Every structure is written in structure tokens, then in C-alpha cells.
Chain A
Amino acid sequence: MQFLNNYSNRELNIWAELTLDILVYLYFIYRVYPLLINGQFNNETLVPIIITTIIISIIYSIIVFGVINIFTKEEEKDERDYFYELNSYRISYYISQGGILGIICLILFNELYQENIGLLTPPKIAMIFLIISVLSSTGKSLTQLFNYRKSI
């Protein structure tokens, strides 16, 4: 419980969110990578992976966030929390925009040089979007944690 005492309720929640992002990312890559290698990546194989990921996320959230809120006192947000949150949303926005720009470029290059970079199918685009959203969320959590640790 010493670990819990060193961090505020908000920081612990951010750590939990970051861990969830990393877990989702690792699980997704672990399930999707063999399919990509074997050429079995399509809508039928992607949907069960997404559903499993959502179920794991919900179970994780109930357990971990529940434990955090049982052992630490929830505090009302103050101006510093809002300031760091806004700062982290900015980073998250940049990552999302960069990712979307990357997808646009990928689609254009795919259209121009299809034979060189392989066929970009809708499930692959969906997978890239999912990865971008996880990266954006990870960026948000890391920025918040960095700001909180920096100011102590």
C-alpha cells in the first residue's frame, strides 16, 4: 500500500489508464500480427479481436479503477488538474492529427504504388485507426504524468 500513498488518486487513475492502453496495444498486436503474416487478416477475424479487447478493457476498468477508488480518496479537480488536462489533450490532438495525416498519405501512396506497398484493405485501415487512438490516449496519459511528477 506504500505505492498508493506516494501518488494522488488522480495520478493513480492516469497510471491505470496508461497501463490499460499498453495492455490493449500489446494484446491487439499479439492477436493481429500472426493474422497479418499468414494473410488471414479480414473483417471476420478482426471483429472477434475487437470484441475481446473491449470486454478485457471493461473488466480491467471495473477491477483496477474500483481498487484505486477504494484505497484512495477521490479529490475534486482544481485549476492545476484542468491545466495539465488541457495540455495533455493538446498532445493527444497532435498525435491524432499526425496519425490521420499518415493514413491519408498511406491511402494515396497505396493508390499510386499499390504493387510496391501492398493492398490497404478497410480492416487494415480500421486497425491503423485503433492504433492511432491508443497512441493518442497513451500520449495524453504520459503528458499528464510527466506534468504531475515534474511539479513535485
Chain B
Amino acid sequence: MKKQKIKNQIRRLRFDANEMTQAELAEKASVTRQTIIALEAQKYSPSLELAFRIAKVFDVPLEEAFQYN
């Protein structure tokens, strides 16, 4: 069975948000920059709470920032 993964659009959303840096996003979402790097590399699936926090930073609905394939 193929492994299900949560994909995200964080990199695109960052650039759309006036080229927000990873450090700025990390600070706003209360995580470390390494976590943002891991998320953008699609190598870490965030908790529901963190996913909501990130979507809130960009002021977009959760499903625009994260997709479940």
C-alpha cells in the first residue's frame, strides 16, 4: 500500500507573503527554523495545531496550506 503523505505549500505561501523568510515564519508559528526547513522539504508532517498556526500566519484556509494525498 502506498504511504499517505501530507503535502504543503509553505514555500509558495512564504514568497507570496512578501518573501517572508524561514526565520520570520518560524518565529510567528512558534517553532524552530529547522522545523520550517523540514516542513518545506516535505520530510515532516506537522501536528494539527501547528498546521492551523501556519495557515493563520498566512491568513489562508488550512486546506490551502496543507493537502492530504
Contact = CB atoms under 8 A, between A and B. Distances in A.
Interface of A: 8, 10, 75-76, 78-81, 148, 150-152
B34 A8 contact: yes
B41 A152 contact: yes
Contacts of A76: 32
Contacts of A80: 31-32, 34-35, 38, 44
Q: Counting chain A CB atoms within 10 Å of each CB, which of B38, B41, B46 scores highest?
A: B38
A78 B36 CA distance: 11
Interface residues of B, number: 15
B47 interface: yes
A104 B36 CA distance: 45
Interface of B: 30-35, 37-38, 41, 43-44, 46-47, 49-50
Contacts of A152: 34, 37-38, 41, 43
Nearest to B42: A151
B55 to A, nearest CB: 16
A78 B38 contact: no
A79 B49 CA distance: 10
Contacts of B32: 8, 10, 75-76, 78, 80-81
Contacts of B41: 151-152
Contacts of A150: 43
A5 to B, nearest CB: 12
Given A80-B32, A148-B34, 7 more contacts: A78-B32, A78-B35, A79-B46, A79-B49, A150-B43, A152-B38, A152-B41
A78 B46 CA distance: 11
A151 B34 CA distance: 9
Contacts of B46: 79
A78 B32 CA distance: 7
21 contacts: A8-B33, A8-B34, A10-B32, A75-B32, A76-B32, A78-B35, A79-B31, A79-B46, A79-B47, A79-B50, A80-B32, A80-B34, A80-B38, A81-B32, A151-B34, A151-B37, A151-B38, A151-B41, A152-B37, A152-B41, A152-B43
